[in-house]
Amino acid sequence: MKKRKQWLMLVCIALAVCLVSGGMLYIRQKNNNKKWSLIYIPKTEDGTNDFWTSLISGTRMAAQECGAELEVLAPEREQDVEVQNKLLEEAIEKNPDAILFSPSSFDASDELLQKAKDKGIKITFIDSYTESNIQDMTVATDNLEAGKQLGEYARTFLNKDSQIAIVSHVKGVSTAIEREQGFREGLGDYNKNVVDVVYCNSQFDKASQLTEELMEKYPNLEMIAGMNEYSSVGAARAVQKHDMEDQIQVVGVDSSQEAVQLMEKGVFKGIVVQKAFKMGYLGVTETVRMLQGKPYDENVNSGCQLVTPENMYSSEIEKLIFPFNTIK
């Protein structure tokens, strides 16, 4: 009788294990086959900006490959925090499985993002992040490292008396803070030679205007460093307009076809290029992995590369500065 009870107990345990295993397998298969709903809110969808165009293309290709539904909601201007937050509210009302977000402000969206989390919506930051650690995942360039690469390269054109100015994009946003910090670290003891920092609010024309004001204010200026595509290209346009490329060295972050042309003409001395398409692609694929319950990395570095007139036409660099919508 005792042996029979033990046998029955073993059979029950085995059945329970089978039921649990079968249930977990069913859930896993169901998650793998589910058509996940994603909403991506970048800082802008601007056809004149190669970085955002390439990044958004990456998200769309990844969504197609993963069988996910992706909606892109974007402000017209990168610095329009109010519109971005309205789009975030709209996204929360739609209750997707995940919201992918590129915050234009370091703290203005935290309350809304918490509201999304409270509804069970997963949050992935792409390109930048906010003050509170609210996200489930971040996919971005290591902006400190990007700035440091730029600063170390820029230093090779300078001496102890050189005057340097920084044209940045949006004051207070994480990418601007970290790139400037990294750039100063890369400059080393030449950091003390930075005479001014200005912000163009991610507008080409504003960056050009500010650069012209800097050239007038500091007639001995020897270098201008732009911290994103708008600020870098805008600064380079102003330097070229005034035929100052022999006196003022221009370096920057982010590439575009115009930036490549300006480098060919000797205006840009170096650009740190982000892998924008890869960033967008990984933002979606890693979010889907997270939703499926698979292992994922909470912090994904999408990488960057220093491009100079000497290496710009090597095969690997050409893939980066002439994007063909492929993972690099």
Report the CATH number at residue 230. 3.40.50.2300
Place of tokens 């003390």: 192
Are residues 222 and 286 both part of a single domain?
Answer: no
> What does the pLDDT look like over 241-279, one tens digit per residue?
999 999 999 999 998 899 999 999 999 999 999 999 999
Reported as a single tens digit per residue, the pLDDT across 135-156 is 999 999 999 999 999 999 999 9
In a domain, 224, yes or no: yes
Of 125, 124, 128, the C-alpha closest to 141 is 128
In terms of domains, do 159 and 222 share one?
A: yes
H/E stretch holding 271:
strand 268-274
CA–CA separation, 249 vs 253, rounded Å? 14
27 occurs within a structural domain? no
Domain containing residue 124: 35-141+276-302
pLDDT tens-digit readout, 162-189: 999 999 999 999 999 999 999 999 999 9
- Cβ atoms of residues 186 and 152 within 8 Å: yes
In the three-class reduction of DSSP (H, G, I as helix; E, B as strand; rest coil), residue 222 is classed as: strand
List b or e across 42-54, with b for residues whose CB sees 16 or more CB atoms inside 10 angstroms: bbbbbeebbbbbb
pLDDT digits (tens, 9 = 90+) for 280-323: 999 999 999 999 999 999 999 999 999 999 999 898 888 888 76
Q: What are phi and psi of 39, to 5 degrees?
A: -125, 130
The answer to whether the beta carbons of residues 77 and 202 sit under 8 Å apart is yes
Q: Would you place residue 9 in the very low, low, confident or very high pLDDT band (cuts 50, 70, 90)?
A: low
- 17 within a domain of the structure (yes/no): no
- Are both 147 and 265 inside the same structural domain? yes
Based on the fold, state whether residues 132 and 184 are members of the same structural domain: no
Q: What are phi and psi of 69, to 5 degrees?
A: -90, 125
Query: Does 164 fall in a domain?
Result: yes
Q: Which residue has the tokens 């935290």?
A: 110
At 322 the pLDDT is: 76
